Amino acid sequence: MVLSSNDIEKILPHRYPFLLVDRIDELEPGVRARGVKCISANEMQFCGHFPGMHVMPGVLLIEALAQTGAVALLSEEENKGKVVLFGGIKNARFKKQVVPGDRVELFCEILERRGPVGIGKAEARVDGKLAVTAELTFAIADKT
C-alpha cells in the first residue's frame, strides 16, 4: 500500500514544518511501515543547522522514524483518530550524515505490543547505507 503526503495527513496530526514523512511505500497496519523523506536545502532547520554546512539534525531523523512507526500503528482500525506519542528512545546511533539532496528511506517495525504501548526497531538509510538506528517506544493515546 502506497500513501501520499495527503494520505499521511489523514493519519498523522503533524503539519508543515513538522510532517517529516513524504510518502509511505509499504504498510502493514500495526506491524511495519517503510517511508521516504526527501531532504531539501529549503527546509527551515538549515537556516541554523549549520550555515555553510547543512546537516539534517539527528533529532529530526528520529522524529521522521517515529512518524513512520506512528503511521503503522494508527493505520489499524482500532487506532484511527488517535495519536501516537513518544514513550522512549533507546540505543540511537547516527552512522552517516544526512544532507540536502539525500533521499532517506525510513523503516519501522513494531516488535512488541502491550496494550497501548509498542516498541519498534527503526532505521534510516541513504543510498542503501545505514544512517540511523534506534529502538523507539510508542504510546497510543486518545486525542484530547
Q: Of the listed 14, 23, 49, 96, which one is catalytic?
A: 49
Helix (H, G, I), strand (E, B) or coil at 27: strand
Q: Is there a catalytic annotation at residue 49?
A: yes
Residue 12 and residue 39 in contact, taking contact as beta carbons nearer than 8 Å: no
Distance, CA of 99 to CA of 37 (rounded, Å): 12
Our CA angle for 118, 120, 122, nearest 5°, is 155
For residue 4, report the phi and psi dihedrals to the nearest 5 degrees: -80, 175
Annotated active-site positions, please?
Answer: 49
